[in-house]
Amino acid sequence: MPKSAADIARNEKLRQRLRFYEDLGLAPFYRDRNASSSQSTQSPPPPSAAVASPQPIEEALLPKSTPKLVPALPIDTPTKPVVSLPSSGPSLFDSATKLSSETLLQIRDDLGECTRCKLHSTRHTIVFGDGSRKARLVFVGEGPGADEDAQGLPFVGRAGKLLTQMIEAMGLERRDVYICNVVKCRPPGNRQPEPDEVAACSPFLFRQLDSIEPKVIVCLGATAFQTLLQTNRSISHYRGQWLDYRGYKMLPTYHPAYLLRNPAAKADVWKDLQKVMAELGLEVKKKAK
Ligand code: URA
């Protein structure tokens, strides 16, 4: 019987997801198609722009239950506002209570048609953020790329599809979490945001985090890590460690764009995400033998 276009698309999506699970070393959902093939789990060196030298994380040194927080570096952030937002639909993953008072809508309103930095002159769309305003888990990336700039949503391009797969592998959906970036406008040519751009835009990120008050913040890549901790230190020594960002538990990991170039590093990221899952009380899936 001929397959419809919808069937083919669904099968392709399923195939991609299974391949992703395979890359992570997860097998229990499906038959192992490559039982005899061995895959390297050795991570390549992190990207030079983001990280100076790879630093294997020693499991023995990592906390077993209660995360040990690395003290935050001094940080100058706006005062913590307080709010609650109108609900647009239930999520399995909404936190029960909120202490903050400024809503994401108010922050978006304040951002307006922003011209605070030079990125405004080349952007098409401001990419503010997406997901649950009551999320217990927030992912922070660097800045929008071409697809995000066109659609006005974070992480919808190739790296975004990988992030979505990572979220789903955790047993969550995108609407359960909140996803945003350090800068809200696309840096031309996908270059890294410059210090003046980060300085102009990051206060909006800090306010978004305070509005949501997540239990865990995952920094995707060096820019998010360095912006939240106000440091120039390399992410390599901190990847996979629990850190303290102004009382929030924060964990830096590799950016999905890096994983697209270095798929072997997915195993490290999966280890990091399992720590996050444990912290959030989500079922941690067993790794395939
Ligand atoms: N990379 C990012 O850091 N953010 C996006 O939204 C997309 C790609």
Tens digit of each residue's pLDDT (9 = 90 or more) over 213-234: 999 999 999 999 999 999 999 9
The pLDDT of residue 100: 58
For residue 187 and ligand 1, the question of a CB distance below 6 A is answered with: no
The pLDDT of residue 21: 57
Q: Which residue has the tokens 């930095």?
A: 117
For residue 143 and ligand 1, the question of a CB distance below 6 A is answered with: yes
Tell me the β-bridge partners of 140. 180, 219
Sign of the CA dihedral 229, 234, 235, 237?
Answer: negative
Q: Which band of pLDDT confidence, cut at 50, 70 and 90, is reported for residue 284?
A: confident
Q: Reduced to 3 states, what is the DSSP secondary structure of residue 56?
A: coil
Which numbered atom of ligand 1 lies nearest the CA of 159?
A: 8
Question: Please, what is the Cα angle at 120 between 114 and 123, to 5 degrees?
Answer: 120
The pLDDT of residue 15: 72
Q: Which band of pLDDT confidence, cut at 50, 70 and 90, is reported for residue 59?
A: very low
Ligand 1 mutation target, pool 123, 128, 142, most atoms within 8 A of CB? 142
The pLDDT of residue 95: 42
Cα 267 from Cα 272, distance rounded (Å): 9
Work out the average pLDDT over 260-274.
98
The pLDDT of residue 240: 98
The pLDDT of residue 3: 74
Rg of the chain in Å (alpha carbons):
19
**Each residue of 69-120: pLDDT tens digit?**
544 443 334 333 322 223 344 444 444 444 458 999 999 999 999 999 999 9
Name which residue leads in pLDDT, 54 or 158.
158
Ligand 1 mutation target, pool 128, 155, 167, 259, most atoms within 8 A of CB? 155
Residue nearest to atom 7 of ligand 1 (CA): 155
Cα 255 from Cα 79, distance rounded (Å): 29
The pLDDT of residue 22: 61
**Pick from 63-67, 131-135, 253-257, 284-288: least confident:** 63-67
The pLDDT of residue 4: 82
Give me the percent of the chain exceeding a pLDDT of 90.
Answer: 63
Residue 68 has pLDDT above 90, yes or no: no
Q: How is 58-106 classified by DSSP, letter by letter?
A: PGGGS-SSSPPPBPPPP--------B----SS--TTB-S----BS-HHH
Question: Could you give phi then psi for residue 71, rounded to 5 degrees?
Answer: -60, 140
For residue 129 and ligand 1, the question of a CB distance below 6 A is answered with: no
Query: Strands 243-245 and 248-253, how do they pair?
Result: antiparallel
Cα 52 from Cα 25, distance rounded (Å): 27
Residue 288 has pLDDT above 60, yes or no: no
Distance 180 CA to ligand 1 centre (A): 8
Q: Average per-residue pLDDT in the chain? A: 79
The pLDDT of residue 81: 31
Ligand 1 mutation target, pool 127, 128, 138, 148, most atoms within 8 A of CB? 148
The pLDDT of residue 286: 62
The pLDDT of residue 246: 97
**Each residue of 8-48: pLDDT tens digit?**
877 876 776 566 556 554 543 333 334 333 333 334 434 33
Which numbered atom of ligand 1 lies nearest the CA of 142?
A: 3
Residue 167 has pLDDT above 60, yes or no: yes
**Each residue of 182-197: pLDDT tens digit?**
999 999 999 999 999 9
